Structure 1
């Protein structure tokens, strides 16, 4: 009889727990934001992406299916081995359900491999290589914000149309740089342009003199900077010292965001052409979100931080709709659900995990044109997502029927 009472009590306790909450592993949803917080990309995403992720959780309500949502963060220092160790620890011992942001392509590719092995969702907003939705695609992997192909179509296409038909590249010496150079070179050539040469530099170098002299002596109309963060900013500063722009060549910042423009200042950055998939001053909705972000961080968000907000929000929406955080169910819904938020309007996710949404071709304003803090861009054109991104069936993703 005593045993019967114990069993009855246990059954009653079980039925008191909401069925949906029982479908959330470990009784909570845990998201890891893994990126560079101390190196050349610290402003690019950094701790600001962590703040954007926390904003998404707050805006969602703090819980999903009755379970609390936790966001943690770590600095991978742009090293794939460090990132891999953190990812394994998060997945194996810290009950992390999904890893996001993942600035630096070599890091994102390393973590993608571990996520596939552990059958976990990763959502990349900070890395650029199109391989993430190409040969390294995953049924549980997603790529938000931008990629090397979209940047090539946006910035590269604009400059070729304006007469910049000969190029020389300064390229960061790792997967992201190679991919950005290759994609832009292919697009320039497809438009009738020529690539006169390229030189590769170490990540985080401080002396660009020999690289810039080679670019200058090439006679190319456009010097394409296939790098990002402080690498791009330092190259632009030193190019001014060598009189490259004054001598008639143009500098194309192939991956440059609002954060780096702010760090460089309008005096040095004015006239640069670049592509972003978000701008804080685009419309009332983006301004409202960005003001809240500014109140928390003291800065306006760039496309990486806005995309991290969007990615976290979409992941939570998928869990809520699925009624579980089980990877297969959530990934399926993330492929099916439209993306409609402050970052992406009418966005959709391709079969290869690529978020397809519009990008914006920007020109950095002259100091005299800026009317308020963070008023840095003129929007030259909208680049439709369908034109900017590789079609899933042409991406090389083995999950997509050719």
Structure 2
């Protein structure tokens, strides 16, 4: 059975519910119902990389797993957290207390994710965080209820900085968004560059959501560094890349390395300006038959758009959560989170992996170079794979994060 309904959601947001069920007896799941809440950015500057696409990804996971839970209804609802921690936390608490949501998915923006992480700590629900980048979720702020999917700042900075430095890009200058996320990207990348014998010749910080990067880019250009590391995200990264092209930085011999950039960002920049850019991602829609098949299903519901890494993470994280619900025979958050760490991860988008004691989902990461317009064979054909970073090297070692749960494992 499949039905859709519109509900009134928090903060004037709407919620879309997908009900998937089948006949037959269910497992020992209370109420024969599993309720997933996609808490995301539906209207802000991360809505292209998350937003409606994250909702569609969760719906596809529910559709795909419905046959594995016969007689159980899988419901997916959505709300817009407006990129505000207080709204995110309030929505999470309302979903838990009044709407019996069993798992909260996505939650882009680290500040919002950390607020939701605390709202769900020791609750009966699981937080599958595929949208945020902060390593705090698997570090000092780790929670037994939280699973961190897709990526984090350590994986992105380590992947790009290591691959570029080992490839000869020994001198770096950082253009950094002046808040905790940007500082973390710069700090992690700088440490890798220096550990490999490279040199960080300088850095400059810009306010978040800046519109003019000219003075910062001119400083980066004047530094003479081979690599300009962009320790920012979304609109700031898009603006940095576009203006760097206007100033002739890349044609002058310097290269750009984006420490967080997704498919939707490259689409916004365009291949003419983004070509040659280095970046690390957890997922690419055109990687293999499994990713392409999912991307085709996603595109059919999203007017031809291809999924980003964050949206793919919602699908894979939701699917693993549902597998754990089936294996545990319950939606109790403590039991399901423990089961998610016990059983291996395996899906067509990220392949095989594990979830560690600190809640970090571990899988391969991918180092790409953005194609030129001549190399691209069609819409959304943006990346060429340079290197696969194996799961064993892709994420911060378990013993270096400071998560209390890791010490108990």
TM-score (norm 1): 0.91
Aligned pairs for 1:3-402 (under 5 A) are 20-21=27-28, 23-24=29-30, 27-61=32-66, 64=69, 66-116=71-121, 118-297=123-302, 298-401=304-407
Corresponding residue number in structure 2 for 1:7: none
The offset of 1:374, in angstroms, is: 1.6
Change (3 A) 1:284 1:18: closer
**Kept in 2: contact 1:319–1:325 (CA 8 A):** yes
Is the CA contact 2:122–2:144 (under 8 Å) kept in the aligned structure 1? no
* CA–CA distance in structure 2, aligned partners of residues 375 and 18 of structure 1: 45
Following the alignment from structure 2 to structure 1, what is the Cα–Cα distance between the partners of residues 332 and 207? 41
Shift of 1:311: 0.5
Distance in 2 (CA, whole Å) between partners of 1:198 and 1:126 is 27
8 Å Cα contact 1:127/1:176 also seen in 2 = no
2:10 is matched with which residue?
none
How much does 1:263 deviate?
1.9
Hey, which of these two has a bigger chunk of helix by percent?
1
Give 2:6's aligned residue: none
Query: Alignment partner of 2:276: what SS?
Result: coil
Count of matched residue pairs = 384
- Over the aligned positions, Cα root-mean-square deviation in angstroms equals 1.8
| Higher strand content, 1 or 2 | 2
1:171 deviates by 1.8
Give the drift of 1:90.
1.6
Return the offset for 1:77: 2.1
SS in 1 for 2:405: coil
Is residue 145–residue 307 contact of structure 1 (8 Å, CA) maintained in 2?
yes
Q: Quote how far apart the aligned CAs of 1:217 are.
A: 2.6
Change (3 A) 1:163 1:72: same
| 1:268–1:19 distance in 2 versus 1, CA, 3 Å | closer
Give the 3 Å change call, closer, same or farther, for CA 91–202 of structure 1 in structure 2.
farther
Q: Is the 8 A contact 1:106 1:174 kept in 2?
A: no
8 Å Cα contact 1:64-1:319 kept in structure 2: no
Conserved? CA contact 1:41–1:228, under 8 Å: no
Cα offset, 1:272, TM superposition: 0.6
Q: Structure 1 residue 236: deviation in Å?
A: 0.5
Task: Give the SS at the match of 1:122.
Answer: strand
The one-character-per-residue Cα deviations of 1:343-391 (angstroms, maximum 9, x if unpaired) are 2222111111111111111111111111122211111111001101112
Aligned 8 A contact 1:53 1:308 in 2: yes
Which deviations, in whole Å up to 9, do the C-alpha atoms of 1:181-213 show, x marking residues without a partner?
111111111111122222332332222222222
Q: Rate the CA distance shift 1:19–1:342 in 2: closer, same or farther, 3 A.
A: closer
Range that drifts further, 57-66 or 232-241: 57-66
Alpha-carbon separation, structure 1, partners of 2:360 and 2:111: 18
1:252 is paired with a residue whose SS is strand
Give the drift of 1:19.
Answer: 7.5
Instruction: Indicate the larger mover: 313-322 or 57-66.
Output: 57-66
Could you say which structure has the larger radius of gyration? 1
Structure 2 length normalisation: TM-score? 0.89
Q: Cα gap change, 1:19/1:245 in structure 2, threshold over 3 Å: closer, same or farther?
A: closer
Runs of 4+ in 1 over 3 A off after TM superposition: 17-21, 62-65
Q: Distance in 1 between matches of 2:70 and 2:89?
A: 30
